[in-house]
A and B are shown apart, each in its own frame.
Chain A
């Protein structure tokens, strides 16, 4: 187990190093560009040159990269040109908002898709299975922004039950809870479509195993066969997929955040990218990759916990 963790930790550090270097070199491709991006199009070339020298941007990329790493190690992520605040403050504020959205969505996605996936997969090609399979396929096929527009046109425009934006500032007579309903619903629907199909496929496969037939022939009630024999084994493969959804929920929900003007992490990176706020892009990319690799490791750990054969 110790070796398992050490190996994964090493991979995490290695990935972070590679990605930070790639993003760093991509961002700082041309030496003058950084200063130009900060000063804007109307600054004179002289001003740009002065700032380039001041920030030490005329030195080789490799030297600056090592300096940047040193800053990271001491917790200094740089200064955001877009928000005029230290990057650390900006990132954590937006990350906290997205984690709220992600946590609620995750708490809905896991039970919902497990239920649908297991019910569909336990009797392959039954009518229930066909209906659930079609539902999950169609729901996973609708882009998040389209899903947002469809739901908003019904619940905001037509019925007027919910607010169309989720700025997390209670205003216009809508509570924060009401604001969260639509973004969470869009994320849950889009994402569970995919997770349901994974769990269903795994369940279908497990139901064809000899030990399930034995359990049925032994005369066990169908419910006991499903709950005690099939469920645990059917969750083995999808558990890694489920863990990877955390990654999508935190970093990949840019579109949903944009639809509902939600002040989250993904939209922050979009703004940083459009504004060419380099320090913020670099830090944001690192946080995103850190989360991605971490959820990968969590997935592996969950797999090991569920499968006693590997645990030994």
Chain B
């Protein structure tokens, strides 16, 4: 009996370790990535530095799409169904200040959710190359 319980515990621990090997899992799986997207947009839409380009935007839809994107990029089972970063940001005139404002919000959201430093950096590293398509290169 006792041995069985120990065996079960070992199997359960192994199972957790096996399934927790993607960044997606370490961010909290589906609930985690969609929650991060939602918190990030709520923060960005209420900050004067970042809210300009989110005015009159369908936030429910945007949260869903960014959740999908986070999920796919971190190794989750989702498929991002939105437009490219270049298409979706064209003409918005996003400045570096606005871009880094949003990055700051993302850091704060990840910290508030107790995400480990290494995982936080891993997510930021995945997203960082988007800057060239998001920020308007025109002076």
A and B associate in one complex: no
A-contacting residues of B (Cβ < 8 Å)? none
B-contacting residues of A (Cβ < 8 Å)? none
